[in-house]
Amino acid sequence: MEVVIAGSPDEVAQLAAGIVARVVSTTEQPVIGLATGSSPLGAYRSLIDQHRSTGLSFAGASAVTLDEYVGLPYGHPESYRSVIRTEFIDHVDLPVERLHSPDVHATDLAAACDAYDRTVVELGVDVQLLGIGADGHIGFNEPGSSLSSRTRIKTLTDRTRSDNARFFDSIGDVPRHVVTQGLGTITAAAHLVMIATGSGKATPIAAMVEGPVGASCPASVLQFHRHVTVLLDDDAAGELRHGDYYRETYRHKPPWQHL
Ligand code: F6R
C-alpha cells in the first residue's frame, strides 16, 4: 500500500486524475471504476479539464460504477448513475453505452446483482477510484461485510444515511437499501486508488491503513491488495502513526517510479 500525503485537497485531486489519465492514455480499451460521493469530484473536474485542454480521450474506455441506491425512481438526480453522468461522463467522450451500473430496477434483483458482478469481472477494471465512509465502508460494504463478498443488496447504517442526507431534502428520503460491488469484486481491480480529504476521514483512514484487517473496517481488506494508492491531505492523514515515514517515502520516491 502506497500512502501519499499531499498538501491540499486540490493536490490530491490532481494526483488521482493523473493516475486515471495515465491508464486511459496507455491502455488499449481501458476500464475505469468510478466512485460517487464528494471525494472523487475534484479528480473528475481535473479529468474533464484535461479532456478539454489536452484532448485526453476516453473514447475507447469503459466505466463501471461501484454502487447504486435501491428504491429511487429511474433517472432520479441522486441515483449514482445520474450523478456519475452529471459530474463526469456527460463532459467527456466516453460513450454512455459503455457506462455500466447495477440494474436496481430488475424484478429479480439477486440475478441482476450476479449479472453485474460478472460484467465487472469480465471487463476487468484497470483502475478503481474509491472513497471511504466514516464507518470504514468502501462501495457500500458496511461493517460486517464479508471480505470476499460479491455484488449484492446491502442495508445502509444510520451513520451512512445521515452522512448522505446532505444530498437529499431530508434523511427520510435517503434509501435504506443499495446494491454494491462486494469487497471481493472491488479488490479484483488491478489498481485501487483511495481518495480521502478532511479531518472526518482521519479515523477510518488510520483503521484502514494501520489497523487490523477485519470486517469491522471493510476498507482494511485493501491491506491484502498488491497495488493500492492512498491519496490523502494532511487532515485525513492526521491519525496515522507512521505519517512521517509515508511523507519521507514520497519525498524520496525515485523519479522513474510513477504512482
Ligand atoms: C460511493 C461510495 C462510497 C463513498 C463514501 C465516501 O460510490 O462508494 O463508499 O465513497 O461513502 O463518501 P464521500 O466521498 O461523500 O465522503
For this structure, is 135 an active site residue? yes
Q: Within 10 A of 87 (CB to CB), how many other CB atoms are there? A: 16
Whether residue 217 lies inside any domain: the answer is yes
The count of domains in the chain is 1
In this predicted model, what pLDDT tens digit does every residue of 51-102 receive, in sequence order?
999 999 999 999 999 999 999 999 999 999 999 999 999 999 999 999 999 9
Ligand 1 pocket member 36 (CB < 6 A): yes
- The best mutation among 81, 137, 195, 221 to test binding of ligand 1, ranked by most ligand atoms within 8 Å of the C-beta, falls on 137
Helix (H, G, I), strand (E, B) or coil at 69: strand
DSSP 75-89: T-TTSHHHHHHHHTG
Whether residue 256 lies inside any domain: the answer is no
Whether residue 60 lies inside any domain: the answer is yes
- The best mutation among 32, 36, 164 to test binding of ligand 1, ranked by most ligand atoms within 8 Å of the C-beta, falls on 36
Helix spans in the chain (H): 9-26, 41-54, 80-87, 109-123, 158-164, 183-186, 202-210, 243-251
- Provide the mean pLDDT of the chain: 97
Whether residue 157 lies inside any domain: the answer is yes
Q: Alpha-carbon Rg of the chain, whole angstroms?
A: 17
pTM over 0.75: yes
* Domain extent for 150: 2-232
Whether residue 248 lies inside any domain: the answer is no
Whether residue 242 lies inside any domain: the answer is no
Ligand 1 nearest atom to the CA of residue 200, by list position: 16
For this structure, is 108 an active site residue? no
Ligand 1 pocket member 195 (CB < 6 A): no
Distance CA 1, CA 121 (A): 22
In this predicted model, what pLDDT tens digit does every residue of 154-200 receive, in sequence order?
999 999 999 999 999 999 999 999 999 999 999 999 999 999 999 99
In the set 67, 68, 117, 163, the catalytic residue is 67
Whether residue 9 lies inside any domain: the answer is yes
* Residue 244 DSSP class: H
Give 93 Cα–ligand 1 centroid separation in angstroms. 25
DSSP 120-171: HHHH--SEEEE---TTS-BTTB-TT--TT--SEEEEPPHHHHHHHGGGSSSG
Strand 177-180 relative to strand 152-155: parallel, antiparallel, unpaired?
antiparallel
Whether residue 87 lies inside any domain: the answer is yes
Ligand 1 pocket member 182 (CB < 6 A): no
In this predicted model, what pLDDT tens digit does every residue of 8-36 receive, in sequence order?
999 999 999 999 999 999 999 999 999 99
First to last CA, the chain: 11
CATH code, domain with 187: 3.40.50.1360
